[in-house]
């Protein structure tokens, strides 16, 4: 079993495309706000968001109902507007969708700095540690030591997203930017620098 498969095994992903679309919209927009001038808010959602027109109205309605029952979204009516947002549990579940799409950009020119990611995750959170290692490998980091990984390009936003997703404190995971790490010929060769 590869690290990527382990990673996907440990964290429950949304299975249907419509759930992914709901999570994606709520993650990027923060909330859906709809004028509640009729009781058919699902129809208003479909009208407002083009990519949802491909789904039957009943499926959209069922999805919102199910996500609300599971405690993943919150639906409130305030001043004749309906607010739909992710709950804390919903943000965690939706985070896997963001993590799966995560990619690191490679600029044309290297700034001659190494990004060293170090982490110390306790044994009782071994599942998270293994999933993080799998994701770092998938993203193209190079493993210097068991919990020390190197990357030559800017990656702070992506590392912060991983740190937030795995719920790791600053003491458990740090990103260090270094100009000199000693003999780095093997790293330069690995990254074709």
81-135 residue pLDDT tens: 777 777 877 777 776 666 677 788 888 899 999 999 999 888 888 887 888 888 8
Output the CA–CA distances (angstroms, integers) from residue 49 to 29, 72, 80, 90, 162, in the order listed: 12, 20, 20, 20, 29
pLDDT at residue 114, rounded to an integer: 95
Which 8-state DSSP code applies to residue 172? T
pLDDT at residue 13, rounded to an integer: 42
Task: Give residue limits of the domains in the chain.
Answer: 3-99, 105-190
Was domain 3-99 assigned CATH 3.40.50.1980?
A: no
In terms of CATH architecture, what is 105-190?
A: 2-Layer Sandwich (3.30)
pLDDT at residue 46, rounded to an integer: 63
pLDDT at residue 34, rounded to an integer: 57
- Give the chain's residues under pLDDT 70: 1-16, 23-52, 80, 95-99
């Amino acid at each position: 079993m590869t690290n990527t498969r382990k990673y996907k095994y440990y964290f429950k992903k949304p299975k249907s495309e419509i759930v992914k679309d709901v999570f994606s919209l709520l993650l990027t927009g923060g909330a859906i706000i709809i004028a509640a001038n009729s009781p058919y808010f699902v129809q208003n959602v479909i009208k407002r968001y083009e990519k949802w027109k491909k789904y039957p109205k009943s499926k959209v309605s069922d999805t919102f109902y199910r996500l609300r029952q599971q405690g993943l979204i919150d639906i409130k009516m305030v001043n004749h507007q309906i607010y739909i947002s992710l709950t804390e549990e919903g943000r965690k579940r939706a985070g896997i969708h963001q993590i799966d799409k995560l990619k690191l950009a490679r600029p044309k020119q290297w700034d001659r700095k190494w990004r060293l990611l170090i982490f110390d995750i306790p044994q009782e959170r071994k599942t998270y540690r293994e999933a993080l290692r799998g994701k770092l490998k998938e993203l193209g980091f190079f493993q210097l030591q068991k919990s020390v990984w190197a990357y030559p390009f800017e990656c702070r936003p992506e590392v912060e997203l991983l740190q937030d997703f795995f719920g790791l404190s600053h003491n458990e995971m740090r990103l260090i930017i270094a100009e000199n790490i000693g003999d780095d010929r093997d790293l330069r060769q690995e990254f074709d620098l």
